[in-house]
Each structure stands twice: as C-alpha cells, then as structure tokens.
Amino acid sequence: MSSEQNLPTRAELPAMPRDEDGPVFAEPWQAQAFAMTLWLHEQGHFTWPEWAERLSEVISAAQADGDPDRGDTYYLHWLKALETLVAEKGLLTGEALRERKDAWDRATRATPHGQPIVLP
C-alpha cells in the first residue's frame, strides 16, 4: 500500500482499544447506516469494492484531519462514505439530504419529549 511509508512509528501510536465481544453497534443509528449500505449493495446500486474504496478514502481523510481513529469513529466514517456514494451514484442529491435533515431537525424540536418524531 502506498500509505505504508507514511504510517507513524510504533512509539507515536496510541494503545489499541481492546474489548471483549462488546456490542456490535454502539448506537441504533450505526445499525441503520450499516443495513442501508448492505441493502443498497445487494440491490446492485454499487459494488463492494466501490464501497470499500469510498470508506477507506473517508477514513484516510479523517486521519489527515487529526482523527486518532481508534475504532469509535468508524461508523461516522461509514455514514459519510454512504452519503458520498449515494450522491455519486445519483440516488439522492446532497441538497435533498440537507433539506430533509433540516426538516427532521424542525420536527424534532416541535415534538414533546417522549413522543415519536414524525415529519409533517
């Protein structure tokens, strides 16, 4: 891999986060992002190598921006890669995503605590 010579030396690296079996997904949104990716792939919207390439690009960019990348930010990278790929494949536009996110934000603020959040 071309990035190999740029890897920090061992002394510069933080300890690996080690866990026992641990939860598969730390939060429900991670599971949703994961499942959407698998489903879109299975439906033929992109190939798995295309997906892996986007994901590794996002991870490399985050590292360059100072993410220590200890595994806990993994699904954030996953989500960004998915947003990028669906836009690239013409499934959704970045603009539509932003508008819909704002709509959910407004709906959330308008919903009393404890009630299901729905779009108007």
Partner 1 sequence: MTDHTDHSHLSDTELRVRALESLLVDKGLVDPAALDAIVDTYENKVGPRNGAKVVARAWVDPDFKQWLLRDATAAIDSLGYTSTQGADIVVLENTAKVHNLTVCSLCSCYPWAVLGLPPAWYKSFPYRARAVKDPRGVLQEFGQDIADGVEVRVWDSTAEVRYLVLPERPPGTEDMAEEKLADLVTRNSMIGTDRLTGGGAG
Residue number, 70 or 88, with CB nearest to partner 1: 70
What is the smallest separation between the CB atom of 73 and partner 1, expressed in angstroms? Answer: 9
In angstroms, give the least distance from the CB of 74 to partner 1. Answer: 5
Q: How far is the CB of 118 from partner 1 (least distance, A)?
A: 10
| Phi–psi pair at 86, nearest 5 degrees | -65, -35
Report which residue type is found at 100.
Answer: R
> For residues 43 and 89, what is the distance between their CA atoms, to the nearest angstrom?
13
φ, ψ dihedrals at 68, nearest 5°:
-65, -15
User: What φ, ψ does residue 113 adopt, rounded to 5°?
Assistant: -55, 135
Residue 67 burial class via C-beta count within 10 angstroms: exposed 0-12, middle 13-18, buried 19 and up: middle
> Cβ of residue 11: shortest distance to partner 1, in angstroms?
11
Distance of CA 81 to the CA centre of its chain: 6
